[in-house]
């Protein structure tokens, strides 16, 4: 794919995939506005239906292995003192999104807050948004109402996380060979939709996703991805939407298994849960972010004995850890899984957490040369 | 530079620059060990001199424009109950560093903690290190004692921050064209010493460093680096050592001015202070991390009027902000600078902070199309 000429260089425009996606999103926004207008001019009360983003309206779809939103809907009316502000905020952000798509530009959540912020005419300093949280909530409402991912509204989440390995991608027309990205790697952007990122050539047979950049550095330095023909990603903690969406696309479009190497603690288990099933607060995203067949390759509670580790690796569980572990064990997708029930029981029985980095107590490269290769060979992981 | 063959692919070895750097560091470690041994076998008390890392031993070198360590030294003796543990910890980490260099591998600070962690023989569960902080402190002692940057000891800090622009670099043998890195960019690694990263071809005339990845995204999307022939970096907040060292090398080796676009608040001023003069707690690093001629291009307190901003951009200063602003105004390098005194006075008089992203209230691309180009043209910045 050729580099864009400078005439096309403003924004991400130019290819037909962009236009198709944006056209669809614009269509939804225009329909939304038309509906409000039709009600108004028809003498009816202007109101909009917003699917309810609450835990009670979140359904665990066991068959598909993802969280989904239920059918509950709340109405937002203009002529209702409690709802008028949110109604106006929704219209304001819809208009901003339309402007972004028309200009072929993107904004962060913070940027959207500032873009929509102004003093309401005729008031004594009443602002359109009290704070960014208020703005973020309205954007989530808009996502579910329009059934469009935030990324399709031209809004991006934080950029964080890196990739390296046996794949060539095209990012905004630039061909990037992830086999030749040195010690730094390719920085995964906030928006990785198919019109921005295309997969070009991929020999990799799987993806190894690790929690921390420091662990990623160990695997890259030992050239694990070259020796084991894979792609190596990291999310610097809880992976961003960009990272999750990229992993999902690698899984769905290239049929690559996703193996997650995370700490043996409730935080590691939670990260895995979000990668696999989606987050409870944003269940509507799961359809396009969750990876139901992701695997948890470790660290496992049995490893203390199985790997002959010393007590140096033990980090005592505190009260909050124990509470979180029990909450996570009760998640529907873990509750029905014997492997996960045993795993979390093992963690609680041990009474201590273990970090991936603690395997260094065996040897600097134990994790890359023995631990992960052995687990992959034995297909020893949790679903 | 050719890609390493698989026989050489373990670690970063292979080229002569690595060997020279590692040889020098190893020599220092061996000298250190020899000195301890000579004292011991000579019947003298084993002790080591550690330069004092305190504020009172930090000197502001006005002429060079950097913070430096003074001459104060504290002794650490083996036969002193208060010092014996630290003496042993220092020897333990020295040995680990030697092992890392011999194996041509690198470790994170967390990794070094685990590597050095074990139960001391003959004790009832006494550990070599109580926690990672203890380990980190010893590594800093080692840096100053050996006069070697952490990176030369094969220890890396967190990887964070990205780069794009008119430069081609070589990272561990891989040629990376930063003009063709899409929307994601090149992820700046933790260690950017000349044996890992070489600058190959650079047309860029300056570096624009921004605080946040979201602002970086705006500049990249608007292809600012292409239109203004520069390099664009971000540090996701306080830049890591890797980012600071890379900026310093771009400044020193390629003579590129470094312009920093940061928020108008004490945190933005502090980030600039660290980029420019180094941090007080780690003054010994300034020699090779500080960039005395870095420029602060904005946001400036005068911009509220100068740019005709609305009150939407105002974020009230809280008590802590006011305290921090006054502390920063008293830093020797700011205290003697009329421009900075005016700037911080302006911030306090305004009574509010402003974020770079708040310029979106003017227009999405105001910051890339008007603000920064105008400031560069007018050479309107703070030193």
Residues of chain A with pLDDT under 50: 1-14
Q: Chain B interface, mutation test: which of A5, A181, A187, A227, most B Cβ atoms within 10 Å?
A: A187
* CB contacts, 8 Å: B175 with chain A: 180
**What count of other Cβ atoms lies within 10 Å of the Cβ of residue A40?**
12
Put simply, the answer to whether B12 touches A105 (Cβ < 8 Å) is: no
pLDDT band per the 50, 70, 90 thresholds, residue B62: confident
C-alpha atoms less than 13 angstroms from C-alpha of B10 in its C-beta half-sphere: 10
Nearest CA-CA partner of B370 in B317, B325, B315, B303: B303
CB contact at 8 A, B45 and B39: yes
From residue B127, give the alpha-carbon distance in Å to each of B82, B134, B135: 16, 11, 12
pLDDT value at B14 more than 60: no
Q: Which residue has the higher pLDDT, B12 or B169?
A: B169
Query: For residue range B237-276, what is the model confidence (pLDDT) as tens digits?
Result: 999 999 999 999 999 999 999 999 999 999 999 999 999 9
* Model pLDDT, residue A92: 94
CB contact at 8 A, A294 and A272: yes
Specify the length of chain B in residues.
383
Classify domain B162-377 at the CATH class level. alpha beta
* Model pLDDT, residue B354: 97
CA pair distance A290, A252, nearest whole angstrom? 10
From residue B4, give the alpha-carbon distance in Å to each of A352, B11, B186: 41, 10, 20
CB contact at 8 A, B82 and B72: no
Nearest CA-CA partner of B257 in B276, B278, B283: B276
Put simply, the answer to whether A182 touches B160 (Cβ < 8 Å) is: no
Which ranges of A197-240 would DSSP assign to H, the alpha helix? 213-221, 224-227
Q: Chain A interface, mutation test: which of B97, B187, B232, B311, most A Cβ atoms within 10 Å?
A: B187
ipTM of the modeled complex: 0.90
Measured N-to-C along each axis, helices B319-329 and B338-350 cross at an angle, to the nearest 10 degrees, of 170
What are the counts of helices (DSSP H) followed by strands (DSSP E) for chain A? 15, 17
The domain defined by A15-44+81-156 carries CATH number 1.10.10.10: yes
| Mean pLDDT of all residues belonging to chain B | 91
From residue B49, give the alpha-carbon distance in Å to each of A74, B18, B67, B71, B142: 70, 28, 21, 11, 10
Query: For residue range B217-230, what is the model confidence (pLDDT) as tens digits?
Result: 999 999 999 999 99
Which residue of chain A has the CA closest to B184? A189
Put simply, the answer to whether A114 touches B176 (Cβ < 8 Å) is: no
Q: Chain B interface, mutation test: which of A181, A182, A357, most B Cβ atoms within 10 Å?
A: A182
CA pair distance A356, A87, nearest whole angstrom? 47
| Nearest CB neighbour to B183, from listed A103, A189, A218 | A189
pLDDT value at B319 more than 90: yes
* CB contacts, 8 Å: A197 with chain B: 182
CB contact at 8 A, A120 and A127: yes
Establish whether B371 is a catalytic residue: no
CA pair distance B188, B193, nearest whole angstrom? 12
**Domains A15-44+81-156 and A162-377 agree in fold:** no
* CB contacts, 8 Å: A213 with chain B: 158-160, 190
Q: Which residue has the higher pLDDT, B96 or B288?
A: B96
Provide the whole-model pTM. 0.91
Classify domain B14-44+81-156 at the CATH class level. mainly alpha
Query: For residue range A196-232, what is the model confidence (pLDDT) as tens digits?
Result: 999 999 999 999 999 999 999 999 999 999 999 999 9
Which whole number is the average pLDDT over B294-322?
96
* Model pLDDT, residue A21: 85
* CB contacts, 8 Å: A175 with chain B: 180
**Residues facing residue A298 across a β-bridge:** A261
Name the residue ranges covered by the structural domains of chain A. 15-44+81-156, 162-377
* Model pLDDT, residue A181: 98
* CB contacts, 8 Å: A189 with chain B: 182-185, 217
Put simply, the answer to whether A312 touches B118 (Cβ < 8 Å) is: yes
Nearest CA-CA partner of B259 in B367, B183, B180, B153: B367
* Model pLDDT, residue A5: 38
Which whole number is the average pLDDT over B91-104?
94
Residue A70 backbone phi and psi in degrees, to 5: -80, -165
Number of inter-chain CB pairs under 8 A, A vs B: 202
Q: Which helix (H) or strand (E) holds A349?
A: helix A338-350
* Model pLDDT, residue A259: 98
Put simply, the answer to whether A361 touches B217 (Cβ < 8 Å) is: no
With the C-alpha atoms ordered B246, B248, B254, B259, is the resulting torsion angle positive or negative? positive
| Nearest CB neighbour to A214, from listed B110, B162, B170 | B110
For residues A301-339, one letter each, b for 16 or more C-beta atoms within 10 angstroms of the residue's C-beta and e for the rest, the string is: bebbeebebeebbeeebeeebeebbeebbebebbeeeee
* Model pLDDT, residue B15: 53
* Model pLDDT, residue A286: 86
* CB contacts, 8 Å: B185 with chain A: 186-187, 189
Residue A175 backbone phi and psi in degrees, to 5: -80, 125
CB contact at 8 A, A289 and A248: yes
Put simply, the answer to whether A310 touches B180 (Cβ < 8 Å) is: no
Helix (H, G, I), strand (E, B) or coil at B323: helix
Put simply, the answer to whether A223 touches B197 (Cβ < 8 Å) is: no
C-alpha A186 chain-centroid distance: 18
């Amino acid at each position: 794919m050729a580099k864009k000429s400078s005439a096309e260089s403003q924004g991400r425009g130019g290819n037909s995939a962009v236009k198709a996606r944006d056209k669809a999103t614009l269509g939804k926004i225009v329909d939304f506005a038309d509906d409000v207008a039709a009600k108004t001019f028809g003498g009816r009360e202007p109101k909009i239906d917003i699917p309810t983003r609450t835990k009670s309206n979140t359904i665990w779809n066991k068959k598909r292995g993802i969280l989904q939103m239920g059918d509950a809907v709340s109405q937002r009316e203009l002529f209702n003192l409690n709802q008028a502000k949110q109604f106006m905020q929704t219209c304001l952000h819809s208009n901003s999104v339309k402007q972004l798509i028309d200009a072929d530009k993107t904004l962060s959540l913070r940027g959207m807050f500032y873009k929509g912020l102004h003093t309401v005419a005729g008031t004594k300093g009443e602002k359109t948004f009290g704070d960014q949280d208020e703005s973020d909530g309205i954007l989530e409402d808009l996502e579910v109402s329009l059934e469009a991912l935030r990324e399709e509204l031209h809004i991006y989440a934080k950029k964080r996380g890196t990739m390296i390995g046996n794949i060539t991608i095209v990012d905004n027309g630039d061909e990037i060979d992830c086999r030749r990205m040195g010690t730094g790697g390719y920085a995964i952007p906030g928006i990785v939709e198919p019109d921005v990122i295309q997969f070009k050539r991929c020999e990799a047979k799987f993806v190894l996703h690790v929690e921390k950049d420091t662990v990623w550095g160990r695997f890259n330095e030992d050239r694990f991805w070259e020796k084991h023909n894979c792609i190596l990603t990291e999310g610097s903690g809880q992976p961003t939407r960009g990272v999750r969406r990229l992993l999902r696309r690698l899984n769905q479009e290239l049929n690559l298994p996703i193996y997650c190497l995370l700490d043996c603690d409730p935080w590691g288990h939670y990260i895995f849960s979000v990668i696999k099933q989606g987050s409870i607060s944003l269940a509507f995203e799961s359809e396009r972010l969750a990876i139901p067949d992701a695997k948890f390759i470790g660290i496992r509670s049995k490893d203390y004995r199985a790997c002959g580790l010393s007590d140096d690796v033990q980090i005592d569980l505190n009260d909050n850890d124990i509470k979180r572990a029990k909450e996570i064990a009760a998640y529907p997708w873990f509750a029905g899984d014997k492997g996960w029930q045993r795993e979390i029981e093992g963690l609680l029985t041990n009474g201590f957490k273990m970090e991936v980095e603690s395997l260094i107590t065996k040897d600097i490269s134990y994790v890359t040369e023995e631990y992960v290769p052995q687990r992959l060979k034995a297909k020893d992981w949790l679903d």
